[in-house]
Amino acid sequence: MRQGQLNMTGANLLKALLELFRSDYDVKEACSINGDVYDAYASFRAASAKYVLVQSAELWRTNCFEHVFFRLTDRLKVRDIERFRQQIEDYIEPKLVRSGRTYPPKDHMYTYMTAIFICENGVSGEAEKAVKRFRYIKNYLLTIRGYSEAKILVFDLKTGKIFGNPAAKQQVKSYKKNWGNQK
């Protein structure tokens, strides 16, 4: 992405983001998650392990995941943020992170549950505050089985702002740097 590319339509921005994600993520467009339809869904898994001499002498293993939900919307409202939290609590965390079990599988390190909202006609002031206050983190067995954390990233095409919740701080910084957004 070149600087200044935030001044595009929401559909074009979504297409550009999905193109970036396709190199590392499995991407599915028009995806239904527990009754809500997202414009796209991307999932990622990374595994690492350390061995001594032979593969059967494994010292440690970690599995890391991310689930990203893309939504193109006219105007972001507080109810959109509340609905994402409800989706996390009702479906995303219990089904996608824990697979319906009490804890995630052995060697789980972390799972990020990320919402990317692309807003063509702005964000209400209350919704911006709700995003910036949004926190969701869950530890499993005192982090022995890792943790899950929610991130929200918002592209406000009307004002050219990119912002997110505290957990998405690094992503916001990266997108601002790469897209020339200084707000």
Could you tell me if residue 14 is inside a domain? yes
Could you tell me if residue 1 is inside a domain? no
Q: Could you report the per-residue pLDDT of 61-108, keeping only the tens digit for each?
A: 688 999 999 999 999 999 999 999 999 999 999 999 999 999 999 999
Indicate whether 140 pLDDT > 80.
yes
Strand ranges inside 35-75, DSSP E: 36-52, 54-73
Alpha-carbon span 140 to 146, nearest angstrom: 6
Which pLDDT score is estimated for 56? 65
Q: Could you report the per-residue pLDDT of 38-66, keeping only the tens digit for each?
A: 999 999 999 876 767 666 665 656 889 99
Could you tell me if residue 19 is inside a domain? yes
Hey, what are 171's tokens?
A: 């992503």
Could you tell me if residue 85 is inside a domain? yes
Determine how many CB atoms are found less than 10 A away from the CB of residue 157: 20
Q: What is the pTM of this model?
A: 0.89
- Angle CA(58)–CA(60)–CA(61) in degrees, nearest 5? 105
CB 136 within 8 A of CB 97: no
Could you tell me if residue 3 is inside a domain? no
Average pLDDT over residues 132-143: 96
CB 122 within 8 A of CB 73: no
Indicate whether 5 pLDDT > 80.
no
Q: pLDDT class for 8, splitting at 50, 70, 90?
A: confident
Could you tell me if residue 74 is inside a domain? yes
Could you tell me if residue 30 is inside a domain? yes
Which pLDDT score is estimated for 27? 97
Mean pLDDT of all residues in the chain?
90
Q: Residue 50 belongs to what domain range?
A: 10-179
Indicate whether 147 pLDDT > 80.
yes
Could you tell me if residue 99 is inside a domain? yes
Structural domains of the chain, count: 1
Average pLDDT over residues 127-148: 96
Helix (H), strand (E) counts: the chain: 4, 7
